[in-house]
Amino acid sequence: MKYRKIFIVFFHIAGWILLYLLPPLITQSEIKLPENFGDAMNWILVIIFFYINYIWLVPNYLNKSRFLIYFVTIFLMLSTCYYATVSYTSHRYKMEDLERRAQNQPGMQHHRPPQFRGYFSALFCLTILALSTSIRVTEGWYRSEKQKKEMENQKLGAELSLLKSQINPHFFFNTLNSIYSLAIVKSSRTPEAVLKLSEIMRYIIYDTERELVPLSKEVEYIANYIELQRLRLPEEVKVKLKTDLGDADAVIEPLLLLPFVENAFKHGVDVEKGGTILIDIKLAGNELRLHVVNPLVKDVNSIVDKHRGIGVNNTLKRLKLMYQDNYTFTAGPVNTNYVVDLVVKIKENEVSDS
């Protein structure tokens, strides 16, 4: 924090030096210090007014819509620059005339102060005040956007925890009941089912705490999830999982794909009629594609409402925040099926060839 303040001070000093040197650098003229007290006074005034506007006026009056006080104060600053320049210039030329008379030069023409000197001073002051207002407003907007994004991240973090808590109870209880049934009949699949459940628990408890996880881990988790779902499903319900991750090593947000797969099992299983659930995950270049198809079990409207539940809505919010416009999502009934298509363009630094 201390070094940051020192950096800001040096940054402001460098900015004023650059501003002073800019006109002679542009015109390729000689760089000089202020030639008289009037020039130095003008610079001192605009620097003081810059920080009065930057530190006090903009945050306390402009940002709070107290425009009358703000613009009256700005007008007083401009008037101060104008009259200070005019007064000094008039006094300077008057003293020069008195000096000439004292030197017995009565024939010399009377010097008049240059016209518009005060207006140029006020215009320069107005430019500096506009610059300070722009900087302060931009800084305020940047801080506001940063705080807004931090709040969204915190909210989405809470929603991710909610999503994890939604997945855990129902799924784990159903899976434990299925494993219990396997244990009663002494099925050879019991150890495998326990192992897959432990891998899922490890992934949810530990791996999803990270901001990004390997895509292969997410796909492995989905595969284990599907295998455990098969334990409770009748033979009439078929589940097909197709994956093609190529040779790339990609990372994504944790639990980004699962809600769409989970909904297929929640709302696309008819134990009487059976049917097929298809899940296709493919990585081509920097595009990750998820294609999920499941049967429509009830009427279309109820299925659509259920498929856009809390888990899916939370995931869509996370997609919007993390990937902005770099994804497309479509979902809806197609004939007798419900089809979900998600395409995410993974950032370049999140994909590397192995």
The tens digit of pLDDT for each residue in 195-242 reads 888 888 888 777 777 878 889 888 998 998 888 888 777 788 889 999
Instruction: Please count the structural domains in the chain.
Output: 2
> Among the three residues 146, 180, 197, which one is the final residue of a domain in this structure?
146
Q: Using the predicted structure, report yes or no on whether residue 174 has a pLDDT greater than 70.
A: no
Predicted confidence band of residue 72 (pLDDT cuts 50, 70, 90): very high
Range name among 20-29, 38-47, 192-201 with the lowest pLDDT average: 20-29
List the strands of the sheet with 351-353, edge to edge. 213-214, 248-252, 351-353
Q: Using the predicted structure, report yes or no on whether residue 120 has a pLDDT greater than 90.
A: no
Residue 165 lies in a domain: no
Predicted confidence band of residue 160 (pLDDT cuts 50, 70, 90): low
Query: Do 133 and 208 sit in the same domain of this protein?
Result: no
The full DSSP string for 216-261 is: HHHHHHHHHHHHHHHHHS-TTEEEEEEEE-TTEEEEE-TTSSHHHH
Residue 160 lies in a domain: no
Give me the domain span that covers residue 118: 2-146
Range name among 24-33, 150-159, 211-220, 300-309 with the lowest pLDDT average: 300-309
* CATH (domain of 238): 3.30.565.10
CA distances in angstroms from 301 to 190, 340, 346, listed in the order given = 39, 15, 33
- Joined together, the tokens standing for residue 170 give 């129902």
Predicted confidence band of residue 354 (pLDDT cuts 50, 70, 90): very low
- Joined together, the tokens standing for residue 78 give 């401009």
Count the Cβ atoms, other than its own, within 10 Å of residue 20: 14
What pTM, to 2 d.p., does this model score? Answer: 0.55
Q: Which residue has the higher pLDDT, 46 or 271?
A: 46
CA distances in angstroms from 43 to 14, 33, 115, listed in the order given = 15, 11, 20
Query: Do 81 and 202 sit in the same domain of this protein?
Result: no
182-191, 260-269, 323-332: which is most confident: 323-332
